[in-house]
Chains A and B, each alone.
Chain A
Amino acid sequence: MAPILIRSISLMISYVIRRLIVMFFTFLLATALIFSIIQLPPGSYADYALSFLAAEGGQTTKLGNRIKERYGLDKPLYRQYYEWVEGIFRGDLGFSLTYRRPVAEVIADEILWTFLITGLAFGFAWITGIAIGIYSATHKYSILDHLFTFFGFVGLSIPNFVLAMFLIYFMVSAGTGITGGLFSDRFVGAPMSWAKFVDLLKHIWMPVVAIGTARMASVIRIMRGNLLEVINQPYIKTARSKGLRETKVILKHAVRVAINPLISLAGSLAPRLVSGIVVTAVVLNLPVIGPSFLESLKAQDMYLAGAYLLVILMLLLVGNLLADLALAAVDPRIRYE
């Protein structure tokens, strides 16, 4: 038994190392891609800054050149790229041109909120989605199954931000005075307290539902489909014929296998949750990375935009790694590939 365990562990370690090496090169490649995408639109941050500084009056091209010089935008592109990547490895994300502050300082809070909201949305989508999926599969073609299927498709086809708009309209018309955001005005900037926490709960469900619903719908579909397939497998019939209780058959034997695709899906969905939040956050006025990400792209504030894309990239890479590890842990076939 012991040698098998050791072999299994060493296989796992080599698997992790292989994955990490691939991750490193993916990361490098992706940063180059990110950098070039940010550089794609014509002009630079200097043009953006000028268009606003000069918004209500005259301007000079000289000023534009000065801004470029000051922020190093006049250096050749490869040089700018090198400085950026080198900084990332030193833990320095660069300087936000628009906020005139280190990028890390600008995004720290936003990232916390983003993780909180997407985490909740993720939990909401997965827990309710799996539960409903199991119900639907075991009660195939029942009225509730049809109903869930219907709402599942509706949820899938309504974009997050449209749902968010519906929610806002509903809340405003109901006279709650909630137009988005995470806190009521009087709590913005106030220290954390019980009342503030309650206020947060009153607001945070909107983005969670708005962002989570579409994901939940796909989780339902996948869970239902897989479970239906697994339920008809011979080993389930065997389990049943041995006289196991139905709940045990489903939860212990069927769901455990049917849930595998959802684990790998979870890895790839992590970044999609973050990108899904972008437009929704604009609609809901959330202090998450969405609105400022859009703004940084428009302003060609390359280090800030780059940092956001890096966060999404890291989520994708780490999410995939974790999902692969989880899958490898659950499914031995993966390790031996």
Chain B
Amino acid sequence: MLNSLRIKKNFGRLLTICLSFLLIGSFFGVSGLASSHYDQAPILDERVEAGELPPVSERLPDEPKVVEPLEEIGEYGGTINKVYTGQYDFWGVNKSGVQMEPFWQVTQSVEAEPNLIKSWEFEDSVLKLTVRKGVKWSDGEPFTIDDVIYTFKTAPLEDANPTPPSLVHNVKADEIEKIDKYSAKFPLEKKSVITFSLKDADLSPLPEHYFKQYDPRHNEDMTWGDFNDHWPRGLVSEDWVGVPQLSPWVITEVIPGQRAVATRNPYYFKVDPEGNQLPYIDKVVFKQTDSPANIPTMAKAGEIDLQARHVFFGDYSFYKQNEEQGNYTTKILTNTSLGPTIHLNFGAQDKALRALFRNKKFRMALSLAIDREDLNRTFYKGQAEPWGFCPLKESSIYPGDAVCQSHTEYDPERAKELLDEIGVEDTDGDGLREYGDGKDLTIITDMDQSGAGGPVQVLELIAPYMREIGIEMVPNPITRSSILTKWRQNDFEAFAWKQDSAIQPFLAPYYWSTTSSTIYGNVGFELFKWFNTDGEEGIEPPEFVKEINSLMVEARSTLDPEQRVPLGKEMMSIAARNLYSIPTTTLADIGIVNKNLANVPDTWVMGDALRGLRVIKPWQFYYEN
């Protein structure tokens, strides 16, 4: 029955494709796809007729970017309903294809693909960028290399709501050399950096013609405060309305506490192979929910068409059971991240605890105590995999199974022996081991209560394993800002966070070494200080952490992949063998997709480096009738 349906459906698709080829053929004769005839969404027809908008062929660039739809050419119209959790959830909005169109599109294999920037090349320490010709901002103004230059001169400024570290901070802004309207040379501070880091993936241009009016460098009446008031970077804010954009949908309404609406950008520069201007979908509406815990019910009520962010694996059964009523499909997704990994503070204030954490045998005991198979079965319903402190197999620097499985077998007896060996024993018979001068061994492990650091339940499942070997591990779900504050004040024992960028550790070095002032993969803020000040301040890291840090720096400043890969493998072997942090499993994710939404893949890879949903190109989604 199912099969025959599928055949029918496929046959229908085949028919559509054949027919459309016939149609194209008859329309354009031999010239085929190389045509200048473009179509637009019906809702734009009126505006063109009324003279509000120029015709579609004038709005599109000379060479629009042609996007192959995943399965078939779509139809125009419809709204995608999503949720966001408040004004700080800008990246949830952005990663759906709204606001801040990136220079580069990241592909599923973590490669950079031309987007606004058509081509780029390194000439020694100079990066030459060329933008796509004839692209227009959502207000109809042309987008040129001047906007890019303006961005590189503005984004790194401390005064201007600065962008996190990325390529913009590595360009000598004063020495940018404009070649013509579409290309320029950008001299780099550091001679060679890895081509793209994670933060370059979301780098996007600022509209110079718009920001000039608030920019004190161009308008004497303005201050940087005024500028920042009009530059809502990182916020879902009413301030976005009216800021020209290059994205498929632009924010046209924000009612704080209620919703944000993004409507199609009539100047979006992409078309499908038949010349239909993208996106197919008219609108994306984000409904605010005050707690992600409300999302399952909203899905059940059919209020959500597409959502992977804030959708947690722990609710898998609920989502599966209510597919019919909510008219959606639950998809199991892979993630570029590993599950929550426990980072011990190698600079803990309690010196006895610090010494313990730095003892490899102690870390081995913690790791051996965890039954990863069981964790996978009970929590991830078997959809994840037990994993060591290693990148994913797809990564070019995966150092091999043997190394990666170091100390990940389940062996609580051996764990107890190890603890006995290093003198951490239960002397008062209360079931808990003591350390130092007789304190019970408890490790308070901070974790983001919202689930942003991976499922909190995983830590709750790990606690009993630790109890088994006589260690009390207390999961401490608190807000992200509290974790951050505690971390920066060196007032924590351990914290758990998902281990992201496991597909390409070089893209996010802060997850895999202690070389940056970012928390996620850090084994102690004081250790970072030591690294950052060349040992003048902070606490000296253990030898193996120093090795990891220096290998990370060396590998990232090596342009040649031939050299970089061995360095990366060496780094990962050291990390896995020494248990830089205590690993658990890979991370399975879920997403829900409206049953009628087409051109959505059956599964995809989620992850920060891949910019959320952008990797599956929501601008080519459409509703099947």
The answer to whether A179 and B239 have CB atoms under 8 Å apart is: no
Q: What separation, in Å, do the CA atoms of A98 and B481 have in the docked complex?
A: 14
Known: A53-B234, A189-B255. A60 touches B517 (CB 8 A): yes
Q: Which residues of A contact B20 (CB under 8 A)?
A: none
Interface residues of B in 426-461 (CB under 8 A from A): 452
**Interface membership of chain A positions 255-299, coded 1 if the CB is closer than 8 angstroms to chain B and 0 otherwise:** 000000000000000000000000001110101001110110011
The answer to whether B290 and A285 have CB atoms under 8 Å apart is: yes
The answer to whether B257 and A110 have CB atoms under 8 Å apart is: yes
Q: What separation, in Å, do the CA atoms of A292 and B85 have in the docked complex?
A: 11
Please pick, from B199, B255, B481, B491, the residue contacting A299 in the complex, using a CB distance under 8 A. Answer: B481
Q: What separation, in Å, do the CA atoms of A161 and B348 have in the docked complex?
A: 40
Most buried by B among A54, A98, A178, A188: A54
Q: Does B566 contact A (CB under 8 A)?
A: no
Known: A43-B482, A59-B517, A298-B481. A177 touches B301 (CB 8 A): yes
Query: In the complex, which residue of chain B has the Cβ closest to the Cβ of A63?
Result: B162
Q: Which residues of A contact B285 (CB under 8 A)?
A: 185
**Interface membership of chain A positions 159-185, coded 1 if the CB is closer than 8 angstroms to chain B and 0 otherwise:** 000000000110010010111110001
Known: A52-B88, A100-B239, A283-B294. A57 touches B482 (CB 8 A): no
Total B residues in contact with A, Cβ cutoff 8 Å: 60
Q: Does A56 contact B (CB under 8 A)?
A: yes
Q: What separation, in Å, do the CA atoms of A51 and B510 have in the docked complex?
A: 14
Shortest A73–chain B CB gap in Å is 13
Q: Does A333 contact B (CB under 8 A)?
A: no
Please pick, from B237, B289, B486, the residue contacting A285 in the complex, using a CB distance under 8 A. Answer: B289
The answer to whether B481 and A281 have CB atoms under 8 Å apart is: no
Q: Which residues of B contact A177 (CB under 8 A)?
A: 301-303
Interface residues of A in 37-73 (CB under 8 A from B): 41-43, 47-48, 50-63, 66, 70
The answer to whether B199 and A58 have CB atoms under 8 Å apart is: yes
Shortest B49–chain A CB gap in Å is 26
Q: What separation, in Å, do the CA atoms of A110 and B32 have in the docked complex?
A: 58
**Interface membership of chain B positions 219-236, coded 1 if the CB is closer than 8 angstroms to chain A and 0 otherwise:** 000000100110011110
The answer to whether A57 and B198 have CB atoms under 8 Å apart is: yes
The answer to whether B165 and A60 have CB atoms under 8 Å apart is: yes
Q: Which residues of A contact B202 (CB under 8 A)?
A: 56-57
Please pick, from A52, A63, A180, A298, the residue contacting B294 in the complex, using a CB distance under 8 A. Answer: A180
**Interface membership of chain B positions 225-262, coded 1 if the CB is closer than 8 angstroms to chain A and 0 otherwise:** 10011001111010100000000000001011111000
The answer to whether A291 and B91 have CB atoms under 8 Å apart is: no
The answer to whether B294 and A50 have CB atoms under 8 Å apart is: no
Q: Which residues of A contact B259 (CB under 8 A)?
A: 185, 188-189
The answer to whether A53 and B164 have CB atoms under 8 Å apart is: yes
Shortest B287–chain A CB gap in Å is 7
The answer to whether A188 and B258 have CB atoms under 8 Å apart is: yes
Please pick, from B86, B198, B228, B517, the residue contacting A61 in the complex, using a CB distance under 8 A. Answer: B517
Shortest B594–chain A CB gap in Å is 15
Q: What separation, in Å, do the CA atoms of A110 and B258 have in the docked complex?
A: 11
Q: Which residues of A contact B290 (CB under 8 A)?
A: 281-282, 285, 290-291, 294-295
**Interface membership of chain B positions 273-299, coded 1 if the CB is closer than 8 angstroms to chain A and 0 otherwise:** 000000000000101111100100110
Shortest B155–chain A CB gap in Å is 13
Q: What separation, in Å, do the CA atoms of A172 and B296 have in the docked complex?
A: 11
Please pick, from A47, A50, A287, the residue contacting B257 in the complex, using a CB distance under 8 A. Answer: A287
Shortest B119–chain A CB gap in Å is 25
Q: What separation, in Å, do the CA atoms of A287 and B289 have in the docked complex?
A: 10
Q: Does A106 contact B (CB under 8 A)?
A: yes
Shortest A88–chain B CB gap in Å is 23
Shortest B383–chain A CB gap in Å is 24
Shortest A279–chain B CB gap in Å is 10
**Interface membership of chain A positions 289-333, coded 1 if the CB is closer than 8 angstroms to chain B and 0 otherwise:** 011101100111000000000000000000000000000000000
Query: In the complex, which residue of chain B has the Cβ closest to the Cβ of A183?
Result: B258
Please pick, from A54, A189, A281, the residue contacting B258 in the complex, using a CB distance under 8 A. Answer: A189
Query: In the complex, which residue of chain A has the Cβ closest to the Cβ of B326?
Result: A172
The answer to whether A42 and B91 have CB atoms under 8 Å apart is: no
The answer to whether A42 and B255 have CB atoms under 8 Å apart is: no
The answer to whether A292 and B482 have CB atoms under 8 Å apart is: no
Shortest B19–chain A CB gap in Å is 36
Q: What separation, in Å, do the CA atoms of A179 and B288 have in the docked complex?
A: 12
Q: What separation, in Å, do the CA atoms of A326 and B486 have in the docked complex?
A: 50
The answer to whether B518 and A50 have CB atoms under 8 Å apart is: no
Query: In the complex, which residue of chain B has the Cβ closest to the Cβ of A67?
Result: B161
The answer to whether B291 and A283 have CB atoms under 8 Å apart is: yes
Q: Which residues of B contact A110 (CB under 8 A)?
A: 257
The answer to whether B87 and A98 have CB atoms under 8 Å apart is: yes
The answer to whether B297 and A168 have CB atoms under 8 Å apart is: yes
Q: What separation, in Å, do the CA atoms of A156 and B141 have in the docked complex?
A: 62
The answer to whether A43 and B258 have CB atoms under 8 Å apart is: no
Q: A55-B480, A292-B257 are in contact. List 16 more A-B contacts (CB 8 A).
A: A47-B481, A53-B233, A57-B202, A57-B508, A58-B199, A61-B488, A61-B517, A98-B88, A100-B229, A169-B297, A179-B294, A189-B255, A282-B290, A285-B290, A291-B291, A298-B481
The 4 closest A-B pairs by CB, nearest first: A43-B485, A291-B290, A48-B481, A58-B165
Taking beta carbons and an 8 Å cutoff, which residues of B are in contact with A? 81, 86-88, 91, 158, 162, 164-166, 198-199, 202, 225, 228-229, 232-235, 237, 239, 253, 255-259, 285, 287-291, 294, 297-298, 300-303, 325, 452, 479-486, 488-489, 491, 508, 510, 516-518, 608
Q: 20 A-B residue contacts at CB 8 Å? A: A48-B479, A51-B481, A55-B88, A55-B480, A57-B166, A58-B517, A58-B518, A59-B518, A63-B158, A63-B162, A100-B239, A106-B256, A175-B325, A177-B301, A179-B297, A180-B294, A188-B255, A188-B258, A298-B479, A300-B481
Taking beta carbons and an 8 Å cutoff, which residues of A are in contact with B? 41-43, 47-48, 50-63, 66, 70, 98-100, 106, 110, 168-169, 172, 175, 177-181, 185, 188-189, 281-283, 285, 287, 290-292, 294-295, 298-300
